[in-house]
Amino acid sequence: MKTALRAADRSGVLEAARIIRNGGLAAFPTETVYGLGADAANETAVGKIYTVKGRPPDNPLILHICDVSQFYGCTEQTPDYCGALISAVWPGPLTVVALKKNSVPAWGTAGLPTIAIRMPSNETARLLIEYAQTPIYAPSANVSGRPSPTSARHVLQDLDGKIDIILDGGPCACGLESTVIDVSGDLPRVLRPGFITADMIYAKIGFYPETEHPLGKPKSPGMKYAHYAPKAELTVINGSPERAAALINERAGVEEKRVGILATDQTIDMYDKSKYFVLNAGDRSNAELIGANLFAALRAFDDKGVDIIYAEGIADAGVGSAVMDRLKKAAGGRVIEV
Ligand code: AMP
Ligand code: MG
């Protein structure tokens, strides 16, 4: 199959919508990461998402909608705070997991009693869902386990020849996957941290959501898999800029393999760029910026062919919690505190 790369203009979106209606797969930009979309009502098309991504069959998909009535059409017994939350945050980077209606088929939900739903704010994504005249199941448009794609080029790297079309809408604004919040229990629970932080949720509903215990059994099936991982072995070094850079230099100095370093504005001048492949993720105090740059940086290390990567950690608060969640997963738990 030849994959068409099209601009995310009106004719491109119309073509992608036609492909989705005909049971094909279309990758498209969202404000979080690029999504790989199929008609949610088409079992075969949804099955193809799993095949081309190599996605484990027990990992359910996020249903992308363009109208809140589609949320209530698929779910039942949502608590009052849920309405307040989605009217305050949607369209936007928040996925809501709610009890699903029996009428919703099992092929996108991995047989769970719940369904994950999101209304994206990205204009291309919303138009695509509107033109396709059907909700769209869309996980991230990468091969499972690889860093999520934040540009059309990343999608091409992973899925060229395996999907029908990619709409190029430029780099994603957030660059991290959506916050996932489960509203199916007594209390809301954040299953995956993202751009919508616990503080923002508090501001909208008047109380804090629970968060997944880092050592607990994940309630979100996707969170148990190794994720976001570059090919090189990544280690996160957590601590002040000076201490982190000192330890990275110490370790890199005795390393015989090719070393990549994910630095920050605060440390970028502390590394020898003639010896190491150094990328700057941005200002440590700007977690949104670091989040937007993170996945592209992880892919750039792969493109460069480094063998090991040292990445500086940032403060684990607000959007920084989402950044650290992804970094720790990419590191497979290799985190050193200095
Ligand atoms: P992705 O779209 O690739 O970012 O993955 C979607 C994320 O949402 C994965 O971590 C899924 O496990 C999670 N998810 C989807 N549906 C559900 C659900 N019903 N309950 C809990 N987590 C879900
Ligand atoms: Mg994903």
Residue 203 Cα distances to 93, 206, 250, angstroms: 16, 6, 44
223 is a domain residue: no
pLDDT at 1: 83
Do 264 and 295 lie in one domain? The reply is yes
112 lines ligand 1 (CB under 6 A): yes
Do 136 and 240 lie in one domain? The reply is no
pLDDT at 229: 83
Structural domain boundaries enclosing 126: 4-211
59 lines ligand 1 (CB under 6 A): yes
Tokens of 73: 């059409």
Report the atom number in ligand 1 closest to the C-alpha of 116. Answer: 16
Do 53 and 102 lie in one domain? The reply is yes
The residue whose CB lies within 8 Å of the most ligand 1 atoms, and thus the one to mutate among 50, 97, 140, 178, is: 97
Do 184 and 246 lie in one domain? The reply is no
140 lines ligand 1 (CB under 6 A): yes
Q: Do 144 and 56 form a contact (C-beta atoms < 8 A)?
A: yes
Q: Do 309 and 147 form a contact (C-beta atoms < 8 A)?
A: no
Do 161 and 286 lie in one domain? The reply is no
267 CA distance to ligand 1 centroid (A)?
35
d(CA 207, CA 186): 13
219 is a domain residue: no
220 is a domain residue: no
Domain end (from 178, 211, 244): 211
The CATH number of the domain holding residue 197 is 3.90.870.10
Each residue's pLDDT tens digit, 12-41:
999 999 999 999 999 999 999 999 999 999
Do 148 and 13 lie in one domain? The reply is yes
Do 248 and 205 lie in one domain? The reply is no
Measured over the CA atoms of residue 3, residue 135, residue 195 and residue 212, the dihedral's sign is negative
* CA 292 to chain CA centroid, nearest Å: 11
Residue nearest atom 22 of ligand 1, based on CA coordinates: 220
Report the atom number in ligand 1 closest to the C-alpha of 177. Answer: 4
152 is a domain residue: yes
Question: In terms of DSSP bridges, do strands 308-312 and 233-238 run parallel, antiparallel, or are they unpaired?
Answer: parallel
217 is a domain residue: no
Tokens of 140: 């991230």
The number of folded domains in the chain is: 2
- Give me the helices (H) in the chain, please: 10-21, 43-53, 68-74, 80-89, 123-132, 152-159, 198-205, 241-253, 287-304, 319-330
Do 137 and 184 lie in one domain? The reply is yes
Q: Do 43 and 205 form a contact (C-beta atoms < 8 A)?
A: no
Measured over the CA atoms of residue 66, residue 70, residue 71 and residue 74, the dihedral's sign is negative
97 lines ligand 1 (CB under 6 A): yes
The CATH number of the domain holding residue 300 is 3.40.50.11030
Domain end (from 154, 179, 211): 211
Which pTM does this prediction carry?
0.95
Which residues are bridge partners to 96 per DSSP? 117, 181
- Residue 180: what are its φ and ψ, rounded to 5°? -110, 125
Biggest CA–CA distance in the chain, Å, is 60
pLDDT at 197: 97
- Residue 236: what are its φ and ψ, rounded to 5°? -95, 130
Domain end (from 158, 180, 211): 211
227 is a domain residue: no
pLDDT at 338: 97
218 is a domain residue: no
Each residue's pLDDT tens digit, 210-238:
987 655 666 677 666 667 788 999 999 99
Q: Which residues of the chain have pLDDT under 70?
A: 213-219, 222-226
Alpha-carbon dihedral angle through residues 72, 73, 78, 82, given to the nearest 10 degrees: -30
Do 178 and 253 lie in one domain? The reply is no
pLDDT at 218: 65
Do 304 and 196 lie in one domain? The reply is no
The residue whose CB lies within 8 Å of the most ligand 1 atoms, and thus the one to mutate among 28, 52, 178, 192, is: 192
Do 93 and 163 lie in one domain? The reply is yes
pLDDT at 211: 87
d(CA 29, CA 51): 21
> Which ligand is nearest to the Cα of residue 180, counting in written order?
1
> Which ligand is nearest to the Cα of residue 149, counting in written order?
2
